[in-house]
Amino acid sequence: MCLQTMAQVNYKSREEIPEKYKWNFSDIYENWDAWEADFKAISVDMEEILSCKGTLGESSDNLLKLMTAQENLMKKAYKVYQFVSFQSTVDTRNMDLQAKLQKVGLLFAGFGPVTAWISPEMIAIPEAVMKQWLAENKGLKVYEFELLDMYRLQKHVLSEELGKLVSYYSQVSETAGSVFEALSTADIEFQEVELSDGSKVTVTPGMYSQITTNNRNQADRRKAYEAIYDVYYKNKNTYAAVYNGIIQSEWANARARNYESCLDASLEGNNIPKDVYLNLIKTVKENTAPVQKYYKLRKKVLGLEKYYGFDGSISLVDFDKKYPYDEAVKVVTESVLPLGKEYQEKLKTATASGWLDVYENPGKRSGAFSSGVYGVHPYMLLNYDETLEYVFTLAHELGHTMHTTLSNETQPFTTSNYTIFVAEVASTFNERLLLDHMMETTKDPKERIALLTQSIEGIIGTFFAQTMFADYEYQVHTMVEQGQPVNAEILTNTWGEIADQYYGDVSEKTQYSNYPWTRIPHFYNSPYYVYQYATCFASSAKLYKDVTEGSKTEKQEALKRYITLLQSGGNDFPMEQLKKAGVDLSKPEAMLAVINQLDKLVDQLAAEIEKIKN
């Protein structure tokens, strides 16, 4: 692969990137003066909240006054934070933005001590009285789900004194995550390597992805792999200390709120049964044969004497087609037509209105995400590199963006924020739509193989790998909860043991093989998040089947249930929302269906490869 072709969308500075491919921050605030005005107004909202202290049990109007003041504050808080956070995301080296982020963090940290009285005072209102107020006071109706749910969590509500004490440590608790972010973005120094064609490249995460996806020279892939992992490997003890600090903080907070474990604390808020988590790990760990079959097929087809982890992204055939961003947008837009023209038009608006930040630039954080601002619109981060994988990433993140858009259009602020447990349904659903659309439209047999590979990699990466990550998190958290030591060696050995169970002995080991834990942001930024990729994948697979199979009437009803799910935000417990849409994750069938699907796709891929040989 020609390096110049690989690097054609790599910009040396953010200023070089055309405006249509960058975020429009003015949709949140026109300027910093407007931001400052809302920042100051938050203090006024806080005074309004404080004026309610000692009055909540007196009348429903007093309770409504508090709820309204809290909502006004939170609407501003989201905007104030995101305006700075988004700009810092694409310019992590800007110390002025970092200072503003700290300023916002300090403001938010100050909320805890002065609002510690709210939960215990609210919970002191008898549930029967609360239900009567909800029936009589129409203004409270919008807060019904939130208000009644607090009685379920009553035993975990801290007293005012303890709540205030714990809140004092909120800023300290977030420090470890900030250290990870700084160590992995602003302070990181990526290494330069010379490839087999004589070109020299700095192996950033984006460049690493390009090389391992497109460069057919195994020695070049090894160089890129060693260069990127060596950066993390050299800081392994720091990463271990950071990760231990994060889990220790979680465990302290869990115990303070009377939870038996960090997992219980993570699940109970959304009323997720613990068995859903543990059964997922058990079911997947017992059914990894299709994954190992796939990697054995890869090794055979690639003709490699030794197969390594860095060989996992290279295409099985000589297929390194580039997908220019504007072309990718067109293809993804066409693929979502089965969800209706209204959905498709909303997606067109998202891709043409400054909602997406498309290309990598120096100082921009890696990866991709979509994050909403209520009353404005979602903001979607990409580091688009023209690979087929990133076309699917585009579809994935647009699924999040559309989920947020539909939720925010339909739900009031208080129930607009959908839970993580359903967050990956829309994204993986869109990936499946894209796969089918491209399989139907391509006439290139090699592209068919690439697409099947993409689908298989999607299942492994979203379902199997994320379950493995969840297994790892559970084991390490359990160590901390049992008072066992946690250091780089223990974390590395734990990773290795789990990886062997999932992937067998197909891949050769290197000195870096068991160090991926150092660079997975979810471990540091959002613990106990990743299992939901797997449960969401299983859910979206079931919903996709319902929407695309059966009679016309059945498909229409299934589509209606699915769109309703996307519009429902956080207006019910996520397990209940999924059941209304047609998915019951308390049963193993959904998990096993995905495992069986992977097995069939691997067999289909093997058959397609044989056709090319013949």
Active-site residue set: 397
Strand partners, 356: 380
d(CA 211, CA 312): 12
**Phi, psi (rounded to 5 degrees) for 580:** -65, -35
Q: Residue 149: which residues within 8 A CB-CB, separation 6 or more?
A: none
Handedness of CA 525, 531, 537, 540 (dihedral sign): negative
d(CA 576, CA 440): 35
Other Cβ atoms closer than 10 A to 514 = 19
**Phi, psi (rounded to 5 degrees) for 386:** 75, 10
- Please report, as a single letter, which amino acid is at residue 524: Y
Beta carbons of 481 and 279 less than 8 angstroms apart: no
Least Cα distance to 396 among 335, 465, 486, 324 occurs for: 335
User: For residue 289, what are its two tokens?
Assistant: 């044969």
Residue 369 burial class via C-beta count within 10 angstroms: exposed 0-12, middle 13-18, buried 19 and up = middle
In our burial notation (b when 16+ CB lie closer than 10 A, e otherwise), range 101-110 reads beebbebbbb
Beta carbons of 150 and 119 less than 8 angstroms apart: yes
Question: Following DSSP, what letter does each residue of 407-465 receive, concatenated?
Answer: HHHHS-GGG----HHHHTHHHHHHHHHHHHHHHHH---HHHHHHHHHHHHHHHIIIIIH
d(CA 447, CA 449): 5
Other Cβ atoms closer than 10 A to 300 = 13
Beta carbons of 374 and 75 less than 8 angstroms apart: yes
